[in-house]
Amino acid sequence: MKHNHTFSSILLIGLLLTLHSLPTVQAATDCAAVTEIPKAQCDTLVALYNSTGGAKWTNKGGWNVTNAPCSWEGIGCSGGKITSISLFSHNLKGALPNLNALNSLQSLWLHRNQLTGTIPDLSRLTSLEDLFLDHNQLIGGIPDLSKLTSLQWLGLSSNRLSGPIPSLNSLTKLTRLNLSDNPKLCRDANYETRTELKEFPVCSSFNCAAVTEIPKAQCDTLVALYDSTDGLNWLDKTGWNETNTPCSWKGIICSSGVVISIELSNNSLKGSLPDLSALTSLQHLELRGSRRSTFLSHSNELTGSIPDLSKLTNLQTLSLSYNQLTGNIPDLSKLTNLQTLSLSYNQLTGSIPDLSKLIHLQHLMLDRNQLTGSIPDLSKLTSLLSLALDRNELSGTIPDLSKLTSLQHLALGVNQLTGTIPDLSTLTSLGYLALNYNHLSGPIPSLSSLTQLTRLYLSDNPKLCREPNADYGYENRTEVEKFPICSSP
């Protein structure tokens, strides 16, 4: 017995030594457990790490390893907020994420890396004093910087930026400015007071003062659209910036002396959208890209955020799908004539804004973005024919849809929706219903009244069940039969 006891002790000691010698694996940062800074700021740092190949940075000390982000390489904090990020020459490769949560940031030094894509919206970084993004591979336009009134140093040189340089008049503290080595940048003629900008050509020599067909402000807006989206390289730029008759330019339709339609889909537009608020009579704005191989070579690639559209109150069609737009969906509540809103296949973030005033809306397509939050109340949108919110990061429950009696297409799949499937019995025109890949639970409601339903997707909702006596139509539909019978209460 003593011999067996000694042998067991030796085995136990050996096991402990073996376990002690194994390398420990540190879990990734849990921003919910971080107390040094707000969770949203921690999430932004993790997003920066992930989007710029953090695993291959030259120095990534602490990043996505510890729950103390203020000690991570290049991060400075003060007062429980991030105040500086200094990662220049760190081999960052990829696009910058949304940085707007870093609202106390004073210094952003990311120069001499290999950053690609566009410069994101920085309008909420109102404490920023130093912004260095030079010597990267950034493309598109320079975003609006007018709210960064604390900015003292701005370095964007040696990139591939294009289009008009935005107004810098509000940056009264700006003492150091370098935008050189961006051959496709241009300046407004009124910027000559800043000597640093004199090297850039004046944006478009076209003179809207000679145009009589439409107001000068509308002509100027068209020219700004041309300049900011690399008009020289559009697939078809017939007439643009050449003739004094903009109503005859490719994609432009006018009526009664104003622009009412812009249709430039799949026309190689690349860059950010300018201010469009002068186009107050615009009814149709269609600047779609495409994923189809037929159009890939000249698909649009719009970047940056969607500008304020609140003055375009006559707009009926807004189609910006299949681009690379980022940021939040702007307030659309004043666009009460809108019938089609198509923003699918972009990189939009944030929540879906209040759409309750858009009572004429027939097609709402926001699928394949990065939208979060809950689905807003849609009960007043009784003209809806198509509702596509699938492939986002939406959470919460499915709202009451019973008043959308004209709905033909309902796609809410691949989200994080919870709760039960609401009563759909009034949606008798529904032909397509996709609720798959969510976290829905409870009994599947009766589908017997949906006689037009030909495509039904409910899979990958493990907690759904079917009522044994419910009428699901089409001989209890094979799509429903795969679910277990709901247990008795």
Give the pLDDT score at 203: 75
Question: DSSP label at 272?
Answer: E
pLDDT of residue 124: 93
Domain ranges across the chain = 31-197, 208-347, 350-360+367-489
Angstrom CA distances, 341 to 59, 266, 353, 435, stand at 44, 18, 12, 21
Q: What is the pLDDT of residue 194?
A: 81
Domain 208-347: CATH superfamily, name plus number: Ribonuclease Inhibitor (3.80.10.10)
Length in residues, the chain: 489
DSSP state of 345: S
Residue ranges in the chain whose pLDDT is less than 50: 1-26
Contacts of residue 327, defined as CB under 8 A and 6 or more positions apart, other chains included, come to 98, 120, 121, 304, 305, 306, 348, 349, 350
* Predicted pLDDT of residue 294: 59
Are 196 and 177 in contact by the 8 Å Cβ rule? The answer is yes
Domains 208-347 and 350-360+367-489 share a fold: yes
So what's the pLDDT on residue 318? 98
Q: pLDDT per residue over 36-47, tens digit each?
A: 999 999 999 999
At 61-97, the pLDDT tens digits run 999 999 999 999 999 999 999 999 999 999 999 999 9
Query: In the chain, how long is the greatest CA-to-CA distance?
Result: 108
In contact, 123 and 307? CB cutoff 8 Å: no
**Selection from 465, 454, 456 nearest residue 436 by Cα:** 456
* Residue 136 and residue 111 in contact, taking contact as beta carbons nearer than 8 Å: yes
Distances (CA, A) of 145 to 131, 142, 303: 11, 8, 16
- CATH superfamily of the domain spanning 350-360+367-489: Ribonuclease Inhibitor (3.80.10.10)
The type of residue at 68 is: A
pLDDT for the residue numbered 189: 63
The reported pLDDT for the residue numbered 226 is: 92
Residue type for position 256 = S
Structure tokens given for 45:
């740092």
Helices (H) and strands (E) counted in the chain, each on its own, are 4, 30
Tell me, what's the pLDDT at 297? 75
Q: What is the DSSP letter of 473?
A: S
**CATH 3.80.10.10 fits domain 31-197:** yes
